[in-house]
């Protein structure tokens, strides 16, 4: 008969009694959370989730790639890097009117936030006027605005804020130790600098990473440790599961080995630890959701995920469609977050 391994129910470094975010997490403490017995970890994470949020509410964001492909960076997972042959056709920056029309459709489909993504290493000043027109137009529809445009200067961050940008997405992607295996054209410190400009300009931050790139558990803990010790926790914390794209070094490795990018239970552990170390962040189940079963998504919501991308497509890779997500919400008795309330208002309640 199989003997089940007994693991100690060690006391971990749970959040403070009032659920106030802590910024003094150490890497060993974050690693210790990963090591908890699974049921204990999910229970702790679900308790933290309930203390800060209504667990039946999930925030819905929709993405649009406003400038696709031809990117100068060499992020080893990305379909849009000009360094790899992925078969993706590079396109120019979209017109503001077309973006606004797509945002209106997203709003009418139930999205609360609209995120505009560009395959740029960094934002160029010459593109700012068109982006400002897009952002202003999307905001006028009553949507929260988000953009992810690569590195920014302090001045560009202020201009985006003035144009009406609520959130800026800029991911750390992985822990500093594994970072060099993922990308070499931009440093970890440059990512941290852009995040600082975004915070200083008064915008909310959206910052997370990718799992399933061949990193170790320690690398995942290290990513979450970085996020939990930022001067302020990310307002949105996307956890992307690697979508293996043929032609990219990291995608090809997974496709060649025929392995799953990451074990499902380990993915749930990552969500749970993110929820515990960043108790007020909106933890977003991001890329990779298309390949997840309903049961796995349910476990992620139980473990504290409370935000998803919707609308059938991320930037270049697929997502479940509206019908599938509606059926999932119905089956799990979930509802879109705070219709009529912003994510910040919900978090502040």
296 token code pair = 């796995």
Instruction: Find the binder of ligand SF4 among 73, 219, 235, 325 (CB under 6 A).
Output: 73
Closest CA to 110 of 313, 325, 336, 318: 336
Of 169 and 174, the one with the shorter C-beta distance to ligand DTB is 169
Tokens of 63: 């993405």
Out of 42, 64, 66, 71, the only residue in the binding site for ligand SF4 (CB under 6 A) is 71
Asked about 284 being catalytic, the answer comes back as yes
Q: Site size for ligand SF4, by CB under 6 A?
A: 9
Which positions from 310 through 349 interact with ligand DTB, judged by CB under 6 A? Answer: 314-317
- Output the 3-class SS for 135-189: HHHHHHCCCEEEEECCECCHHHHHHHHHHCCCEEECCCECCHHHHCCCCCCCCHH
C-alpha 31/C-alpha 111 separation (Å) is: 35
Of 314, 64, 302, the residue nearest 210 (C-alpha)? 314
Residue 271 structure tokens:
């969500």
| 90 Ramachandran zone, left/alpha/beta (phi>0; psi -120 to 50) | beta
The only residue of 102, 170, 269, 284 in contact with ligand SAM, by rule CB under 6 A: 170
Cα→Cα distances 104→115, 169, 287, 304, 314, Å: 12, 21, 23, 29, 17
Could you say which of 102, 121, 220, 284 is catalytic?
Answer: 284
119 forms part of the interface with ligand SF4 (CB under 6 A): yes
In the set 22, 102, 113, 146, the catalytic residue is 146
For the question of residue 75 being annotated catalytic, the response is yes
* 22, 71, 191, 280: the active-site residue: 71
Q: Does 64 bind ligand DTB (CB under 6 A)?
A: no
Residue 219 found at the interface with ligand SF4 (CB under 6 A) = no
When asked if residue 78 is in the footprint of ligand SF4 (CB under 6 A), the reply is: yes
Residue 243 interacting with ligand SAM (CB under 6 A):
yes
CA 95 to chain centroid: 26
Report residue 164 CA to chain centroid gap.
21
Active site residues: 71, 75, 78, 115, 146, 206, 284
Applying CB under 6 A, the residues found at the interface with ligand DTB are 63, 79, 115, 117, 148, 169, 171, 208, 238, 240, 243, 286-287, 314-317
Applying CB under 6 A, the residues found at the interface with ligand SAM are 71, 77-78, 117, 119-120, 148, 150, 170-171, 173, 210, 240, 242-243, 245, 287, 315
């Amino acid at each position: 008969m199989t003997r089940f391994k007994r693991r100690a129910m060690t006391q971990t470094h749970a959040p403070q009694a009032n659920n106030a975010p802590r910024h003094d997490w150490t890497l060993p403490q974050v690693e210790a959370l990963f090591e908890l017995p699974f049921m204990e970890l999910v229970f702790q994470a679900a308790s933290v989730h309930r203390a800060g949020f209504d667990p039946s509410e999930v925030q819905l964001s929709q993405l649009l790639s406003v400038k696709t492909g031809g990117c100068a960076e060499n992020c080893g997972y990305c379909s849009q890097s000009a360094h790899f042959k992925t078969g993706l056709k590079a396109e120019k920056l979209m017109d503001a009117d077309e973006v606004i029309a797509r945002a209106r459709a997203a709003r009418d489909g139930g999205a609360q936030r609209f995120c505009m993504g560009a395959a740029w290493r960094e934002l160029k000043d010459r593109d700012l006027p068109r982006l400002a027109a897009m952002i202003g137009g999307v905001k006028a529809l009553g949507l929260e605005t988000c953009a992810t445009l690569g590195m920014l200067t302090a001045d560009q961050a202020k201009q985006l804020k003035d144009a009406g940008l609520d959130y800026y997405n800029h991911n750390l992607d992985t822990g500093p130790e594994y970072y060099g295996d993922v990308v070499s054209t931009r440093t970890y410190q440059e990512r941290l600098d852009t995040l600082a400009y975004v915070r200083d300009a008064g915008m909310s931050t959206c910052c997370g990473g990718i799992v399933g790139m061949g990193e170790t558990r320690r690398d995942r803990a290290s990513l979450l440790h970085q996020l939990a010790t930022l001067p302020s926790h990310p307002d949105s914390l996307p956890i992307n599961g690697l979508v293996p794209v043929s032609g990219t070094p990291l995608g090809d490795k997974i496709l060649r080995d025929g392995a799953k990018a990451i074990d499902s239970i380990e993915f749930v552990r990552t969500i749970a630890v993110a929820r515990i170390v960043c108790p007020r962040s909106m933890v977003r189940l991001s890329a990779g959701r298309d390949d997840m079963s309903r049961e796995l998504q349910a476990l992620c919501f139980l473990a504290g995920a409370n935000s998803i991308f919707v609308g059938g497509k991320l930037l270049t890779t697929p997502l479940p469609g509206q019908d599938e997500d509606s059926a999932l919400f119905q089956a799990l008795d979930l509802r879109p977050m705070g219709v009529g309330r912003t994510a910040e208002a919900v978090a502040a309640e």
